[in-house]
Structure 1
Amino acid sequence: MAKTDKKFSLGMLAWPIFIELFLQFLLGAADTLMVSRISDDAVAVVGFSNQLFQALMTLFITIASGAGILIAQKLGSRNSEDARTIAIMAVKVSAVIGIVISIVLYLMPGEIASLLQLPNHLLPLAETYISIVGGGMVLIAVMAALSNSIRNTGNTKGPMYTAIGMNVVHVFFNYAFIFGAFGFPKWGLLGVAVSTVLCRLLAAIVLFFMFLGSFERTISIRDFNVFNRKLFGDILRIGWPLGVNMSCWFFTQLLIFSFIAIIGSNELAARTYMNTLEAFCFMLGYSVALAVQIQIAHLYGAGRVKEAYGIAFRAMWIGLAVVAVNAFLIFLFGRQLLGLFTENAEIVSLGVSLLGLNLLLQPGKMINMALNNALNAVGDTRYTMWTSMFSMWLIATGLAYWVGIELGWGLIGIYLCMILDEYVRGAVSLFRWRGQKFLRKAERSEADAGIKADGSGGGPLGKQSALDV
């Protein structure tokens, strides 16, 4: 038990996730920095396209995320076989969904970009980038399912090492294809797209072989024929509200990018550069939030709900301290950092204004990340879904359009509405977690099951409620 507890401790889970996220941040920063050497228009296209890809990712992240939570819960209750079956099904179903998305993006890149209001002069670049990178979305689907499954077994180091290799390969190919180095063709934005797909393919292969040995019983190729309807129903029960939640976020972000595109290409480029800088602000906090989700799901599966309740607040305060420091450092050196990406004075000025607002945005994000992940870990995913639908669509999108476009406040107005959305969702999540309603209900169910099983009058936590101690 002590060895297992150490494996699922917040620190042991969080630091490899942070390294992995940090490397992903470096990957994105290197991408943006190198693409900026092509043109600011190329940067705008990459930022716009990535929002589209992230929005579509929710179609398979639903399965991967729901499966990840269940894997941690099943391992917490010492049910490794069910955890193994859930992981196999998640990879298989995610791959099928990814193939469908890849086909659509490969065949209709221009039509999709036009529908989302991308300026006409950016369409040729968008068609190239979306068709190639979007055509490889199946790789992202498989990687998401594989890494989620591996991470929720307590092995957060494996995906981290894969991220290290992926970064090295991606930076090398980016440099080679953009600048025509080492005898490679000078392909510009086309080269960035090819580089992205190549490294994702290599990472998917590495994660797949790692996945095969992640459970007590090694997974073989013939095991991919397995399908358990009840367990798949459990994945969907937890996963579909997560999918709706994430799709709300991604699609509202995509709409926000569309609003910004209406304002102008400089504003779109500024927001893209800000995405890169913001990633540095919250990635350490997000690693804590992801780690606490795994830890709470594991504790919840083991019936240790009192510990699960307290660890969420510890993670939230740790994360708040981290993101506040990160946001302040970015604010201090923001102008110099933005100058690395572009020489356009208007874009830099817009970015610096947003960095001040970022000091308000990041704490709200952290509260959301910690408490939403805590609620998701115990299966309370419908609550986070409904609150997200309400706040994101009414405040982050509807109010942002009215303030930013109709009232003419522009990018600053849109950003203020994004901040308000984060704090509204954070407040309602805090209210829900402090109420302990879902945890108490689960504890009573466990106690009832214990009574039926042995007539002793106590579940896994004994006669006295752990939450009433």
Structure 2
Amino acid sequence: MVKGLDRKFTLWALAWPIFIEVFLQTLLGTVDTLMVSEISDDAVAVVGYSNQLFNALMTLFITVASGAGILIAQRIGAKKEEDARTIGIMSVSVSGAIGLVISAVLFFWPQTIAKLLNMPEDLMPLADTYISIAGAGMVLTAVMAALSTAIRNTGNTRGPMYVIIGVNIIHVIMNYGFIYGAFGFPVWELKGVAVSTLASRVIATVVLIMMFLPAFSRRITLPEFLRFDRKLFQEVLKIGWPLGVNMSCWVFTQLLIYMFIAMLGAAELAARTYMNTLESFCFMLGYSFALALQIQVAHLFGASRTREAYQATYRAMYIGLVVVTVNALVIFLVGGWLLGLFTEDKEIITIGVSLLGMNLLLQPGKMINMALGNALNAVGETRFTKYISIGSMWLIAAGASYVAGISLGWGLIGIYGCMIADEYLRGLLSFFRWRSRRWMTRSQAPASANASGGATAKA
């Protein structure tokens, strides 16, 4: 517990709504996978592959949203809420503009994009339908990401949680209707899943906007979304673009790994999609602590309380390690049964079961990496995390995966081994960087600037 900290910025107050939100998002993905598996394993492969594409494209606007979120928490910690308010407004408008361009490309050229990604030919008709419809909603995803990030970093992590609860309920009902023809819905199968995704995003965006307008002490008005402060936006990009590179390294290498797996066969691709769903339950609580930690550390850093930020990071990491390890062990014990809920294909189940033991090694590495990486990002060390991501993800997670999985013929086992090595290497490098405490000296600069600025204003 950090003494003297605003209650809404305590780790638990921040973490539990994020956990419920992440859990429900994961549940949404699981329900999607279960429902789509009723259509066919090919449909599952298309959804999994397409979602990797969408995640890759998200980095183009997450750069702005993530950088803005950190600065919002820092500015609130430094008692500069007007700056935080302006940063939040700009993040929404700029992210929306980028998302609009992405949506147009996906809607008009879905088959071209699928071919560039080496999508198997027999999956092309399904890919054309799903990418064009679900991809058209990327503008909504962009706005939702910016809104949720801004709201969370004001200390209100409950708001986005409530939105996700409502959206999950709506999405599941619509999925069921479109796949099975219930409630008078037409039987649209995979097309219906895409339409359901799009409709739920529309509803979530409207509600989040209503929540965002009063998020700061002075209510935001709609004309202010045209407001642009170049100096503040440069600060957002200074922190945000290395975060964007970091995230793009992850999603693009994951997309590349999916392409390698596609080279192994449709069964391996479906098995990886199912395993991805199971793995998400292992680390989601740890991820919630890591994301809450980032908000808390940014707030403490903005208030120049660096010693407390340093200690809070280790505490959150240890809690996360215990949680993800227990979760991974549970998945290891019941994973074979869970895979049987998704598919009856014995080959896919056998492949998935062979990866459950490796998941026990993967998840603790992810937790260490997430906690320390998020803490470094929160204090502005985004360039460091960018450099280690470029080196480790491309050389080990992607490059070595091709060698081990394809060239040496070790398949998914070889690819997973390289993913594990990447997580632990980045976690170890982040640990040494955090322990060096080099970032502490920079926290005094904002405080000094604020003090001198205040003195000038009074004069």
The bucket for the TM-score relative to the shorter chain is: over 0.9
Q: Distance in 2 between matches of 1:131 and 1:340?
A: 29
Q: Residue in 2 aligned with 1:208?
A: 209
1:204, distance to aligned residue in structure 2 (A): 0.5
Secondary structure of the 2:119 match is coil
Q: Residue in 2 aligned with 1:385?
A: 386
Q: Distance in 2 between matches of 1:283 and 1:238?
A: 25
Deviations 1:360-410 (A, max 9, x none): 000000001100000000111000000000000000000000110000001
Report the AA paired with residue 102 of structure 2: I
Mean alpha-carbon deviation: is it higher for 223-232 or for 286-295?
223-232
Gap regions ≥5 residues in structure 1: 456-469
Q: Residue in 2 aligned with 1:292?
A: 293
Report the AA paired with residue 247 of structure 1: S
Q: Residue in 1 aligned with 2:44?
A: 43
1:115, distance to aligned residue in structure 2 (A): 1.0
Report the AA paired with residue 137 of structure 1: M
Give the alignment of 1:236-385 within 5 angstroms.
236-385=237-386
Secondary structure of the 1:216 match is coil
Q: Residue in 2 aligned with 1:223?
A: 224
1:451, distance to aligned residue in structure 2 (A): 9.5
Deviations 1:259-313 (A, max 9, x none): 0000000000000001110110000000000000000000011111110111111
Deviations 1:225-246 (A, max 9, x none): 2111100000000000000000
Deviations 1:121-162 (A, max 9, x none): 001100100000001100000000000000000000000000
Report the AA paired with residue 39 of structure 1: S
1:441, distance to aligned residue in structure 2 (A): 3.6
What fraction of aligned residue pairs are identical, expressed as a percent? 66
1:452, distance to aligned residue in structure 2 (A): 6.8
Secondary structure of the 2:179 match is helix
Deviations 1:47-81 (A, max 9, x none): 00000000000000000000000000000011110
Secondary structure of the 2:228 match is coil
Call closer, same or farther: CA 1:154–1:398 in 2, change over 3 Å. Answer: same
Q: Distance in 1 between matches of 2:341 and 2:79?
A: 51
Q: Distance in 2 between matches of 1:268 and 1:262?
A: 9
Q: Indicate conservation of the 8 Å contact 2:28/2:172, yes or no.
A: yes
Q: Indicate conservation of the 8 Å contact 2:301/2:443, yes or no.
A: no
1:119 aligns with 2:120: yes
Give the alignment of 1:181-192 within 5 angstroms.
181-192=182-193
1:42, distance to aligned residue in structure 2 (A): 0.2
Call closer, same or farther: CA 1:411–1:446 in 2, change over 3 Å. Answer: same
Deviations 1:152-179 (A, max 9, x none): 0000000000000010000000000011
Mean alpha-carbon deviation: is it higher for 218-227 or for 269-278?
218-227
Q: Residue in 2 aligned with 1:426?
A: 427
Give the alignment of 1:372-451 within 5 angstroms.
372-443=373-444, 445=445
Q: Aligned-residue CA RMSD in angstroms?
A: 1.6
Give the ranges of 4+ consecutive aligned residues of structure 1 lying more than 4 Å apart after TM superposition: 1-4, 446-455
Call closer, same or farther: CA 1:447–1:342 in 2, change over 3 Å. Answer: closer
Q: Distance in 2 between matches of 1:52 and 1:450?
A: 42
Call closer, same or farther: CA 1:265–1:450 in 2, change over 3 Å. Answer: closer
Secondary structure of the 1:38 match is coil
Call closer, same or farther: CA 1:99–1:452 in 2, change over 3 Å. Answer: closer
Secondary structure of the 1:343 match is coil
Report the AA paired with residue 208 of structure 1: I
Q: Residue in 1 aligned with 2:67?
A: 66
Q: Distance in 2 between matches of 1:206 and 1:451?
A: 38
Secondary structure of the 2:6 match is helix
Call closer, same or farther: CA 1:100–1:452 in 2, change over 3 Å. Answer: closer
Report the AA paired with residue 47 of structure 1: G
Q: Residue in 2 aligned with 1:93?
A: 94
Deviations 1:91-135 (A, max 9, x none): 000000000000001111111111111110001100100000001
Call closer, same or farther: CA 1:454–1:78 in 2, change over 3 Å. Answer: closer
Gap regions ≥5 residues in structure 2: none
Q: Distance in 2 between matches of 1:101 and 1:136?
A: 9
Q: Distance in 2 between matches of 1:195 and 1:47?
A: 16
Q: Distance in 1 between matches of 2:448 and 2:262?
A: 56
Deviations 1:303-328 (A, max 9, x none): 11110111111110000000000000
Give the alignment of 1:168-207 within 5 angstroms.
168-207=169-208
Q: Distance in 2 between matches of 1:184 and 1:117?
A: 34
Q: Indicate conservation of the 8 Å contact 2:304/2:447, yes or no.
A: no
